[in-house]
Structure 1
């Protein structure tokens, strides 16, 4: 599958185009942050819907309606927020459902899946945020909540569907879980070398950018045997509406991190996060150190290989 790599903006990104939702072919592809550090898809609603349907204050629902339909896209009246660990960003939107066609050449189309259609993004001070990209395409093995105002995350897995969605929101999982895979092919991906191009500007036209065949979707047993496997801590959704999906903590435990200045080392879980442009070590109050490692830190502007079996 073809994606872009950009080094031209304030944050360095791998970018995956979304070319259609439902039966709607977008006038220009929406360029989404390909994020191995989160699960689920958010997209700028104003790039999808006409201004009489949505604005900076949200969607407009006719009296008595709790859903909107537009070219095979269903938007519910459940407003929710989605945040990201290590970031003060909060995205506000409505939970909706659609098929999603994605890739630089529109190579793949999902089954109907949940999408957070975002109408505003705010920083930690409540100020509007603007990004060069139009959303986030989360593909890691975990689940991430889309929470309604005042709701708190539940310990039980409730994957978003029209049947399971509640007033409190629901849980998003990887976009890649909504594809059909051939017999003998597991739901997962491998991220190969992708050059981060300083001349590639993140715009709807991706001016100066070259598509790169860096993302492989679907892994055979033979593919997986070329890598070292690490078991993850997983939990399974309780109902048929949860697709029988197992959501797994994406932090890989047991890594040894060495500090070349002090000569000290410690063991810690790490998260390979293509959506975070810096390397961070986060120490919670309880002293249990966790790390968020951006793959671009390794190897002259190239993103390293990252195989994941969902």
Structure 2
């Protein structure tokens, strides 16, 4: 036996001297456990323990398993009563392996808890991985959460060589199509928000905003469309604001999330264009546009939340 394969005992809580069963990982780590606990969480182990034991076998049976200790530890920790801590996963591949092990041993009671931990650990940085694992495992709620987070990925609907590396290569065409359709429909919904502004509150602050109240650049209405503003009716907006709505709408269609509006190049262009108008410049249009963007973001969020990921 090589140095790597020499036996050792797992860390707490799997070093209990009163154990009645040992699970030995593929890398030679012994996990002290109890038949009753394993039988309650896994019908596979329950059936295994009902097999007759030969007289030559040790008093405490040792069962070799195919999993590495880094996979076995979080799997068993989730099955252990009052362990006092949630396991962590070193990588998304480790997390995927824990899911596969839980499925192998039919540990249905802990599978969704593993999903919660995967979302907590990897959703922000690896939404496509979380989506793929969720689809393969049947976690509909987690798949929806991951799909929503993936809206922040620019160019998601274009061919992407990183998909296979992210685990997306393991899902079927239907799940892949669901994600792309969801992204497209969210883009359509988000882009539509800026085409009519009836969702703005009907307050004096809104009615007095410079974008549709400018006596300089806003007076030239020829060739420009009128836009519904709150409940005030259709008003002609300034050229720079109309351009902002059109440009930000296209940005949202490609990347339908609130970060798009916060990071939008069209926002800075609108500020620069507004400065070219004496009246827009002197009434602190920055404040008006910032206020509008706050409402804009909230309405885009509402529009996206109404889009369903197909079952």
The TM-score, its normalising length taken from structure 1, stands at 0.19
Larger % of helix: which?
Answer: 2
Larger % of strand: which?
Answer: 1
The TM-score, its normalising length taken from structure 2, stands at 0.19
